[in-house]
Structure 1
Amino acid sequence: MTGWALRVGGVSLVVRARPLLVAGLAAVVLLAAVLAHLMLAGRPLAFSEVLSGLSGSAATSPRLSLQVTEFRLPRTVAGAVAGACLAVSGALTQNVARNPLATPEILGVTAGASLGAVSVLVIAGGGAGGLSGAAAAVGLPLAAGSGALLFGGGVFLLAMRRGSEILDSNRMVLVGLGATALATSLVTWLLTLGDVSNAGQALTWMSGSLNGKDWDTVTPMVVVALPFLLLSAFAGRWLLLGAFDDNTSRSLGLPLRRSRPLLLLLSVLLAAVGTVLAGPVAFVALVCPLAARQLSGAVVPPLGVAALLGAGFVVVADLVAGFLLPHALPVGVLTTVLGAPVLIALVLRSQRRTS
């Protein structure tokens, strides 16, 4: 048996077993990764100590509760939410561009966020742009988010066909590559203006990093991310119909004039949130949707599976890069090291299946 037939409100739905099984396994892996991160991200803690710290029952050891809930948990949550946002954003972008190798990077989102963050770090100086108090907590995230939305929105507008509401996928890729090149050039120029310490901070952020995360910076981003992730859950039908050519998609009832711009806008917003949380973490938005599609045997990447895989990937990568290696590395460095061979394996597997 490969699935179940359901009838909801007079509409027949087929629920396939394989994607549900893959989603369940991915959820188990994510839970294990989160627990391992809480146990090993610093001084090793026993499983019982982690549970005690999370439940708040560590009354006799307030230091333990503080260590788990205030120092480790924000970093873990930031990694999981950032990974989920980037993976879902990648799945949406691949569908809109009709290219399995398309990522939010081609929309200029990542490069725009890097430009905003580097501008604060280099020009204003200091990790929070020379700000203090409440402004310090939002200075860099605000700059990175503004840059991501500015470049992503610009690519979105320029990709629209003149005199039409239809999004031109080919133009989107070309304009996105141009916007990325522009932002990258400006980042390089800014790095030459700053001193060594500020440039070093900027390069660390551009590599993708979860260092120094606390609830003051994580909570607002999580509150913003959750509605976008929930909205993406309703886009499954659009993604499936969008896998066909334009004429077929229209005949099946897909409103191209609304669906593609809305999907791309949602992709930009998710990528912006993920980049603000963890920096421009590489390969998550590219590898996780591909893995979700191939593992599930689906025509388009199941967004739930992609989100779970992305969250687990970033949490595991941060644990290994930040705490298990002899020398700590930014999480983005390890996602690149791990993501490149995985991507090659997925592409080769896809070619073998189609040949």
Structure 2
Amino acid sequence: MRSTNNSILIKHAYYKRRAYAIIANVSLIAIVLCICIMMLLYGNTNYSLDVVIRVLRGENIQGATFAIATLRLPRMLSGLLVGIAFGIAGNTFQTMLRNPLASPDIIGVTSGSSVAAVFCILVLGLSGPAVSIISVISGLLVSMLIYLLSKDISFSGSRLILIGIGIQVMLQAAISFLLLKASQYDVPGAMRWLSGSLNGMTMKGIPTLFIVVMVFGIISLLFTKYLQVLELGDEFATTLGIRLNLVRIILILSAVFLIAFATSTTGPIAFVAFLAGPIASKIVGRGSSNVLASGLVGALLVLSSDMIGQYVFSTRFPVGVITGILGAPYMLFLLICINRRGE
């Protein structure tokens, strides 16, 4: 009788937690949609919702069509997609390595894409799709190098984080060297890219980014149950019959593709990948999958930070500056907490 009551209580707690997670995700979707609509409505010139809908349907309205379809829509879609990509990728690394510091922009993955992009802009004089392609390839190669260097007899998350931080420092030094040696006329363009910005976004690159985010985002969602098991430790995962190396490679490749394509589109938007996962975990609660929530929080951080940077201050700031201001205090707080726990 007691075991039956316990079983009922466990099922009740499970369904209650699941319902809460669903409500949290739906609420996040609603908030993100509201911010997306606000980005289309408000700017130097404000337009009504009716005008925005007519423009999106293809109607040509003088002034509004250019402002909404050419400027605001690509900016909004880029922010939405790169936010989802950064959020999901950051959560994947943090959960799989069981460390909140294991964010792609801290362990060198983002810098792998950045150093190639800066080299292309400053040394080769390239721009547009060529920079994006080389940036993605570089991000993949650096991620592969980090993984191979961290793999000894067995995989070690702590070793990967330490090696990643070392490579991150080395790549940042390389970027600084390129900036110092570059022509003063080329540096502003590289600096704008490095700060992480949605300025100058066009619809040309949106389809590719959308496909990448959809494909690798869905893969991450499908592997959620494996990710949750990996969080409990390798021994537990092996006991359940999970093929650790295969699952890790799939998850790492999915996260790296998301990060590389997002970084090649807007530049390295600081701390979005670092913040999204922990915030999403707080929102959906422990024991629930936070992959979708992490993507939504990432989009929320990028879109809201872009609006703050554009309209709150007298000077317009790139989105990466605002996310950096938000993320730096949290990182210091996290380091203090880890130090106090003796980790």
Determine if the TM-score, normalized by the shorter chain, exceeds 0.5.
yes
* Per-residue CA distance 1:35-82 (angstroms, 9 max, x = gap): 1111124422222222221222x34x2542333222211111111110
Secondary structure in 2 aligned to 1:196? Answer: coil
Q: Quick one: distance in 1 between partners of 2:224 and 2:30?
A: 23
Amino acid at match of 1:29: I
- What is aligned with 2:214? 226
2:236 is aligned with 1:278? no
Amino acid at match of 1:307: G
Amino acid at match of 1:200: P
Q: Quick one: distance in 2 between partners of 1:177 and 1:249?
A: 27
Residue 208 of structure 1 and its aligned partner are, at CA, apart by 0.5
2:253 is aligned with 1:251? no
Q: Quick one: distance in 2 between partners of 1:292 and 1:38?
A: 26
Secondary structure in 2 aligned to 1:289? Answer: helix
Q: Is residue 18–residue 296 contact of structure 1 (8 Å, CA) maintained in 2?
A: yes
Q: With structure 1 as the length reference, what TM-score do the two structures score?
A: 0.85
Runs of 4+ in 1 over 4 A off after TM superposition: 1-5, 12-15, 341-351
* Per-residue CA distance 1:190-225 (angstroms, 9 max, x = gap): 111112221122112111011101011232222222
* Per-residue CA distance 1:94-140 (angstroms, 9 max, x = gap): 12211022101244221111111111121123xxx2xxxxxx43122
Q: Is residue 86–residue 298 contact of structure 2 (8 Å, CA) maintained in 1?
A: yes
2:159 is aligned with 1:159? no
* Per-residue CA distance 1:302-350 (angstroms, 9 max, x = gap): 1011111111110111122124421111110001112334567789999
Q: Is residue 209–residue 331 contact of structure 1 (8 Å, CA) maintained in 2?
A: yes
Match of 1:51 among 50, 53, 58: 53
Q: What CA RMSD, in Å, does the superposition of the two structures yield over aligned residues?
A: 2.8
Gaps of 5+ in 1: 6-11, 130-135
Q: Is residue 89–residue 266 contact of structure 1 (8 Å, CA) maintained in 2?
A: yes
Percentage of pairs with the same residue: 26
Greater shift in the superposed pair: 218-227 or 278-287 = 218-227
Residue 246 of structure 1 and its aligned partner are, at CA, apart by 1.8
Match of 1:237 among 225, 232, 236: 225
- What is aligned with 1:87? 87
Secondary structure in 1 aligned to 2:53? Answer: helix
Equivalences for residues 1-355 of structure 1 within 5 A: 16-56=18-58, 58-59=59-60, 61=61, 63-125=63-125, 129=126, 136-162=127-153, 166-299=154-287, 302-341=290-329
Q: Quick one: distance in 1 between partners of 2:198 and 2:9?
A: 40
Secondary structure in 2 aligned to 1:31? Answer: helix
Q: Quick one: distance in 2 between partners of 1:282 and 1:65?
A: 32
Q: Is residue 17–residue 288 contact of structure 2 (8 Å, CA) maintained in 1?
A: no
* Per-residue CA distance 1:137-195 (angstroms, 9 max, x = gap): 31221232222122112112222225xxx532122112211211221111111111112
Mark the CA change 1:145 to 1:3 in structure 2 (over 3 Å): closer, same or farther.
farther
Q: Is residue 309–residue 318 contact of structure 2 (8 Å, CA) maintained in 1?
A: yes
The aligned length equals 332
Mark the CA change 1:43 to 1:346 in structure 2 (over 3 Å): closer, same or farther.
farther
Q: Is residue 86–residue 285 contact of structure 1 (8 Å, CA) maintained in 2?
A: yes
Q: With structure 2 as the length reference, what TM-score do the two structures score?
A: 0.88
Q: Is residue 3–residue 16 contact of structure 1 (8 Å, CA) maintained in 2?
A: no
Q: Quick one: distance in 1 between partners of 2:137 and 2:274?
A: 23
